[in-house]
Structure 1
Amino acid sequence: MTYQNKPKPDDRSDNVEKLQEMICNTIENMEEAEESLSFTDSEEQRQMIQAKNERRRESIDAFRAEVKDEARARED
């Protein structure tokens, strides 16, 4: 049995826009999480939110590095 499926061509034309949108969404999520800190008195919950926001900061750094890579790839 052979498969006739072919992979879609790699369309990277809108990667920078998608990455920038992901950065914005992640920042919004961080801000909402920071606001929620004022509504909790649980130290465990507070630590979980802060840890998640730290991971979000790391993700944002990675997204920004990827945007730079994509921008360089467009120049080539």
Structure 2
Amino acid sequence: MERYQNEPKPDDRSDNVEKLQDMVQDTIENYREAEERMENAPEHEKKEISEKNERRKESIEGFRDEIKDEHRNQMH
């Protein structure tokens, strides 16, 4: 029986900032679309949308912190 060994892929972080920036933009877009939907949503959905948008804000903040970290790491 032949054994296969999976070699780990090299850690290529060169495009992490770009990917994180795309994630921020996508999350902001989702946030804005949800805000628009909330205007005409029934009350029970407004609460859900609002809670989800709060989590989106937290995600955006986390992504921005990661972007700062990546910039620092790339400078070294």
In structure 2, list runs of 5 or more residues that go unmatched: none
Q: Which amino acid aligns with 2:29?
A: E
Runs of 4 or more above 4 Å deviation: none
CA distance in 1, matches of 2:51, 2:26: 18
C-alpha distance in 2, partners of 1:49/1:16?
28
Give aligned-pair identity as a percent.
57
Number of corresponding residues: 75
Alignment correspondent of 1:31: 32
Q: Please name the residue that 1:45 is paired with.
A: 45
Counterpart CA distance in 2 for 1:21 and 1:57 is 15
Superimposed CA distance per residue, residues 21-69 of structure 1 (whole angstroms, 9 cap, x where no aligned partner): 00000000000000001221x2210000000000000000000000000
TM-score normalised by length of structure 1: 0.93
For residues 1-76 of structure 1, the aligned pairs below 5 Å read: 2-40=3-41, 42-76=42-76
> Mind listing any 5+ residue stretches in structure 1 that lack a counterpart?
none
Letter of the 1:62 counterpart: G
Root mean square deviation of aligned Cα: 1.0
Q: Distance in 1 between matches of 2:30 and 2:72?
A: 28
